[in-house]
Amino acid sequence: MIAENLSLLAIPLALLYLAALACIYRILLTYRTAQGAIAWILALIGLPYIAVPMFLLFGRYRFGGYVKARRMGDQSLTNLLDQFESQTTSIAAPGQDHFSDELQVLCKLGRQPFTSGNRCTLLQDGEATFEALFEAMENASHYLLLEFYIVRSDRVGQRIKAILERKLAEGVEVWFLYDDIGSVFLSRKWLNELTAAGAKIASFGDGNIRRRRFQINFRNHRKLMVCDGVVGFVGGINLGDEYLGTAMDQEPWRDTHCRIEGPAVTGLQLAWLEDWNWASNTRPDLNWAAATPPPGDEEVLVLPTGPADTWETCTLFFLNCINNARTRIWIASPYFVPDFQVMNALQLAALRGVDVRILIPEKSDSQLVRLAAYSYLVQANQAGIGIHRYQPGFMHQKVVLVDSRYAAIGTANLDNRSMRLNFEITAINTSPAFIAQVEGMLEEDLKACRRMTEDDYRQRSILFRLGCRAVRLLAPLL
């Protein structure tokens, strides 16, 4: 009997170790860092019953299903991109020599050109953003494209739904894409009612469960909207009441969004179309004609990044910004858990005399991330990096200011999830007037910040410091 039981036990055990070997094989072919590869391999050998399912859920860094979907629809998307680059407003298509190398790199990363003739409006809080979103939606005459990481069925969500239902009744088409993990608490009633009104709705995973299996660690973190192909929005604001501080005990979240008119909206639309194609296997007919005359004179690049790209595009975006900064680089991010490449680049920038300032929140929606940030204080202070904690409310904006040469507003955080696991999108603007607005906005934010010092870390208890260092080990998952 004992022998039979052992024999029965040997079969699943053998299968488990075969699965562990298959995971190790994949790690050896695809690993990014030796440290991470060694950690996974040791776990798979020593604790396969825990490490195998963990690796299947969290160990992959390329979104394989999306890559296949991109290849299947690549020709039509490539044709649209070629058409975009051939517009007279495109001033820095990949391969052209008259634009700076630094900005040319960003074009190649995003597979999109810088365009001229844009007009951008900086939206500095939730109230201003929702007012602009509602107005643009009300003015749409042909279609509305929406893509948000978090959608709630609260007051803001109900207002959005009411406007969309009204526009649908007027004959405006609505395509709505949301992330099924970020919007896990979105009510089914909200979705069903909007669908019944005629909206086409898809989540980032529902239509592709088979292709997406074992890839739940990937998120579509983008927040964008396009109206008729001529007006677009991008930034850090999701669709929820937290940005208005409607709860009695809650301060409104501090966030930043951007309204864009002009040819750069085509870049937002292309990013949306690729995501929609993945989620629904359909490609609606949209307006790709450039506005004539252009509505403004600002130069803008839309930079989509994500785990389906050939390179780690978001990491390279940050490294490109930091390494090319000459006088200053200010970065606002609610999550500050940089990897060693980014931290080393920040240190080198500070050591060569660049004014490096990192704005992070004092109050956070993730205590693990908040604790991890403390562990960087000694490294940062010794190099001259200023880490500033925003005091009132929760600061959720994602903004980068490089010298007085360009500013970026988008969805990417300074953490591993944004750099390697999330689909993000950023609008980069070289207009002196827009840069000055961003500079003034960040200066006001800095007045509401407290600069952290080494003492904030060194004078805490040994248990606190050990906890911070331990949490930092989880950086690849935060």
Q: How far apart are CA 386 and CA 274, in angstroms?
A: 38
Contact 435, 406 (CB under 8 A): yes
In what helix (H) or strand (E) does residue 234 lie, and over which residues does it extend? strand 231-235
Is 221 among the catalytic positions?
Answer: yes
Is 101 among the catalytic positions?
Answer: no
Contact 415, 315 (CB under 8 A): no
Q: How far apart are CA 37 and CA 88, in angstroms?
A: 47
Annotated catalytic residue within 167, 339, 396, 415: 396
Annotated catalytic residue within 180, 355, 403, 456: 403
Is 98 among the catalytic positions?
Answer: no
Q: How far apart are CA 195 and CA 201, in angstroms?
A: 7
Is 223 among the catalytic positions?
Answer: yes
Is 398 among the catalytic positions?
Answer: yes
String of b and e for 34-50 (b: at least 16 CB within 10 Å)?
A: eeeeeebbebbeeebee
> Treating both helix axes as pointing N-terminal to C-terminal, what angle do 313-324 and 340-351 enclose, rounded to 10 degrees?
10
Annotated catalytic residue within 167, 223, 257, 388: 223
**Token code pair at residue 145:** 């494209």
Identify the CA nearest to 383 among candidates 345, 340, 439, 410. 345
Is 249 among the catalytic positions?
Answer: no
String of b and e for 165-180 (b: at least 16 CB within 10 Å)?
A: bebbeeebbbbbbbbb
Residue count of the chain: 478
Q: How far apart are CA 187 and CA 179, in angstroms?
A: 13
String of b and e for 385-400 (b: at least 16 CB within 10 Å)?
A: bbbbbbeebbbbbbbb
**Token code pair at residue 289:** 């004609």
Annotated catalytic residue within 161, 167, 388, 398: 398
Annotated catalytic residue within 179, 228, 339, 445: 228
Q: Which residues are catalytic?
A: 221, 223, 228, 396, 398, 403
